Chains A and B, each alone.
Chain A
Amino acid sequence: MVVSHFVALVLFSFLVSVVFGVLSKNTPRERVLYGAKVFGVFIGVALLLGWIMYPAP
């Protein structure tokens, strides 16, 4: 399976977010919200770090 770096990042973040949400919270609503927040932070931080590293050779 050949995937781009971004697709691998998104899939990885999604799977980890699901586990974090399930383990950290107790109600389904809390789990979904927390998982979505973790997913957003994963992607956001990855994009931010990518842009910070962009000028580097």
Chain B
Amino acid sequence: MANKAVQEAVSAKAQPKMSTLVRLCAAAWLVPGLGHLLLGRKWRGLILCATIVVMFLMGIAMQGEFFSTSSGSYLQTLGYFGELCVGVAMPAARFFGYAGDPLFVCADYGTAYLVAAGMLNVLAILDVYDIAMGRKP
């Protein structure tokens, strides 16, 4: 009976609270790598932040297009959410007036970079979740 109580206490400690998981995943979404930094994985967080931000900035430099949900196309809506996964960078770029230039010679590559940056951040968020749950070192 005492062993069972100890086991329950240990498993309760190992499982983080839902609010903690939500906070970590939200932080990881908003700023790439921040979730890892909050978990104490400094280098992993910094490398992920640098890589994802560089990919996003290269997408901007290549005049990639920001999708919108008002186009009526399912693919464009999916692309919008893909780009939104990069976090606060996308709305910040929109706020500062970036709109992309679909007629620019490298715009297609830029759009791919923007969406890929979002998708890589999704992987980072899932990694944060796994580390917080104790599934990964």
Which of A's residues lie within 8 Å of B, judged by CB?
A: 1-3, 5, 8, 11-12, 15-16, 18-19, 22-23, 26
- How many Å lie between the Cα of A30 and that of B105 in the bound state? 38
Question: What are the interface flags for B106-122 relative to A under an 8 Å C-beta threshold, 1 for contact and 0 otherwise?
Answer: 10010011001000100
Query: Contact: A12 with B112, CB < 8 Å?
Result: yes
Which of B's residues lie within 8 Å of A, judged by CB?
A: 44, 47-48, 51-52, 54-55, 58, 61-62, 105-106, 109, 112-113, 116, 120, 123-124, 127, 136-137
- How many Å lie between the Cα of A46 and that of B136 in the bound state? 32
Q: Is the interface of B mostly helix, strand, loop or mixed?
A: helix
Query: Contact: B51 with A18, CB < 8 Å?
Result: yes
Number of A-B contacts defined by CB within 8 Å: 45
- How many Å lie between the Cα of A7 and that of B12 in the bound state? 50
Q: Across the interface, which residues of B come within 8 angstroms of A12, CB to CB?
A: 55, 109, 112-113, 116
Q: Which of A3, A5, A15, A26 contacts B51 (CB 8 A)?
A: A15
Query: Contact: B106 with A8, CB < 8 Å?
Result: yes
Query: Contact: B123 with A23, CB < 8 Å?
Result: yes
- How many Å lie between the Cα of A54 and that of B109 in the bound state? 20
